[in-house]
Amino acid sequence: MVALIIRRIFQLAFLLFGISFLVFSSMYIAPGNPAAIIGGPTATASDIAAIEANLGLDDPFLTQYVRYVSNAVQGDFGYSYQTSQPVAEAIAVRFPNTLKLAIASMVVAVIIGIITGLISALRQNSWLDASATTFALAGISIPNFWLGALLILIFAVNLQWLPVGGLSSPFYTIEGIKQLILPAITLGTGSAAMIARMTRSSMLEVIRADYVRTARAKGVKERDVIWIHTLKNAMIPIITVIGLNFGFLLGGTIITEKVFAINGVGRLMIDAIAARDFPMVQGSVLLVATLFVVVNLLVDIIYTYIDPRIKYD
């Protein structure tokens, strides 16, 4: 296990190096001059040149990239071109909202997805199975922005049961929970659909196994057959989907944050891209990439606890 963690840390370093190069390159060749945006519409050519020299934007590409990487290794991701605020500080302020939204969405997705998948598998070819399959198809197909707007219209505008948006209240308060419900459902529906489909297919594969038939022949209670012998052995692919979806949720909250006016990293990234705020975009992408790799490492570790037969050499 220790060897796995060490190996993944090295993989993480190489992956982040590659991602940083790709993001830095794409932002470097993107249309628009950050110095001109910073200077504003009244900036003269000499003003823009002075801003470029001050920020080092007139240096060769490799010089800029090496300087960025060397600073990033020390925890310095630069300063925002828009606000002059340190990138790390700006992300640290916004990240808790993104993390709360991702966790709440994952809770919704896991509860709905596993329960729906279980019912679908245990009642194969019934109307419950057909309903669950339809839900999974709809959950994958419906765009987040449309679902979010629909939920706001029904539950916030018409019924006035829940707030329209924002995450200003602490998550452990009643108001904080209410603020999380609509965006969590909006973001978690697609993941719930994928988890439901994987749960169904994995359960159907395991439930036909010889050891399940043997357990039933021995007179084991059906509840124990389902929860102990079947679901536990079907969890490996389900956990894989959960881990991947959680990683995507951490980086895929952009649209939901926009719809519900949540000040998270996704919204910060969109605003930074529009303003050609290169350091902010690069810092946000590196954070998302790091979290994705860390989540996958945790999934690998969980594998070994669920199935001790899995070994990482």
User: Using CA atoms, how far apart are residues 55 and 79, in angstroms rounded to an integer?
Assistant: 10
Q: Quote the pLDDT of residue 288.
A: 82
User: Using CA atoms, how far apart are residues 186 and 241, in angstroms rounded to an integer?
Assistant: 18
Q: Quote the pLDDT of residue 307.
A: 65
Cβ proximity of 268 and 282 under 8 Å? no
pLDDT digits 0-9 by tens, 36-70:
777 777 778 888 888 878 877 778 888 888 888 88
pLDDT digits 0-9 by tens, 134-171:
877 787 788 877 888 888 888 888 888 888 777 777 77
- Looking at the chain, list the stretches that DSSP marks H as alpha helix, in order from N- to C-terminal side: 2-29, 34-39, 45-55, 61-73, 87-122, 127-141, 144-151, 174-207, 210-217, 222-224, 232-251, 254-259, 265-274, 278-306
DSSP state of 86: B
For residue 117, the one-letter residue type is: G
**Average pLDDT of the residues of the chain:** 81
Question: Mean pLDDT across the stretch 221-227?
Answer: 79
User: Using CA atoms, how far apart are residues 187 and 151, in angstroms rounded to an integer?
Assistant: 12
pLDDT digits 0-9 by tens, 3-23:
767 777 777 778 878 888 888
CATH classification of 88-306, choosing from 1.10.3720.10, 3.40.50.2300, 3.40.50.720, 1.20.120.140? 1.10.3720.10
For the chain, the structural domain boundaries read 2-85, 88-306
pTM, full prediction? 0.80
Q: Quote the pLDDT of residue 313.
A: 52
CA 110 to chain centre: 14
